[in-house]
Structure 1
């Protein structure tokens, strides 16, 4: 579904991505792991059209979308749940969700999708009139996921969805990702909890200093001594 080929990205003289290549098959959960500053968020933002690469291809169903504006990428079916949630704090929960359906692909089924999100996340239904900025961190993460789904994406990139959440809320949020995947959504997961993300992922890539240094089945990488020493403290 998504192929990245030899992707380079620089911030001025600093190279953030160096020849990154990866594949995301339809229906998979693909994890991208690495230390802070490894280039994970830069990769997600480049795929999403927020950053323009200096070299390489981003193939969405065979079409090169590298350098396309983010609204074009979204309307093709590539969604993003950004790090830090980034809800609209002065809008209500319902208004935030409706903002997610502004894309052309999400307008026709706006009402049905709104009901679907409230069924999927009952806490959002209970707080539909509440300002998003007054929600807890976990509730805001649920809202960010639901808002993205209002645009009917076929693939969603989750950037640190459990960051700053309580253990109980982490379980709920990552459980929602698993359930969405079981329902057919293709997922790219950038997650600080390396052990959990590798257990969930059918395939995973390790980024170090902007380069892919390891790749393979998630559970295979979980048993790799280099991964265990670098990221799991074992």
Structure 2
């Protein structure tokens, strides 16, 4: 069995009186891809935001490399090696591509290797290298998503959480985005949590997968197992 890099146990999250997550527990294998699938409003983004330290849980534990991190501020969690590519990309549109990337390299863990990491990112994404002086807001949707990933990589994460990375992209760019995620996992040994509307592609890529419904984990297994689960096929794969 793979080493567990991140573990979530009994996580409860509320927005005011409304409960967004209820008793959520899951394990994320090191160097693997873990998919979290579910309908809109199921709590997927809330889970990502809680792991990232943006939301504070009311109950439960989040353990990263044996260290409890729930409730810590987001900048501390980033500096422990957990990066996030947020839904909607959230780049700085008036800043240049290069300036956006440099922002990602300001974490203490990343500063010493900033120049080396920048060279790696621009090699991984040649289109960003071509447009390094261009305003980020003028990039295409696919290029903006590459920039969001590149900015995350500048922080030298060990785990990246992708929140709807293919949202708003053309079918061809969706395929490219999944190839990029697979390559980061395979070639750079990055642990990946993938929240994605494209359930079939997510499960095909995932070593481990969880189905989240109305804030609760309702089933889990390998990606291949869930691809053949009749409930999952009916609810999310249109079969």
Asked if these proteins are the same fold (TM beyond 0.5), I'd say yes
Deviations 1:73-125 (A, max 9, x none): 00000000000000000100000000000100110011111111110000000
- C-alpha displacement at 1:172, in angstroms? 1.2
| CA-based RMSD | 0.4
Of 92, 95, 101 in structure 2, the residue corresponding to residue 91 of structure 1 is: 95
Matched, 1:153 2:165: no
- Note the residue ranges of structure 2 that are not aligned, 5 or more in a row: none
TM-score by length of 1: 0.99
- C-alpha displacement at 1:168, in angstroms? 1.1
- C-alpha displacement at 1:233, in angstroms? 1.1
TM-score by length of 2: 0.97
SS in 1 for 2:13: strand
Matched, 1:109 2:113: yes
Of 169, 194, 197 in structure 1, the residue corresponding to residue 199 of structure 2 is: 194
Match of residue 40 from structure 2: 36
SS in 2 for 1:111: helix
Of 120, 125, 132 in structure 2, the residue corresponding to residue 121 of structure 1 is: 125
Match of residue 212 from structure 1: 217
Partners of 2:46 and 2:204 in 1: CA distance: 24
Q: Which piece of structure 1 moves more, 90-99 or 164-173? A: 164-173
- C-alpha displacement at 1:138, in angstroms? 0.4
Partners of 2:162 and 2:119 in 1: CA distance: 22
Match of residue 135 from structure 2: 131
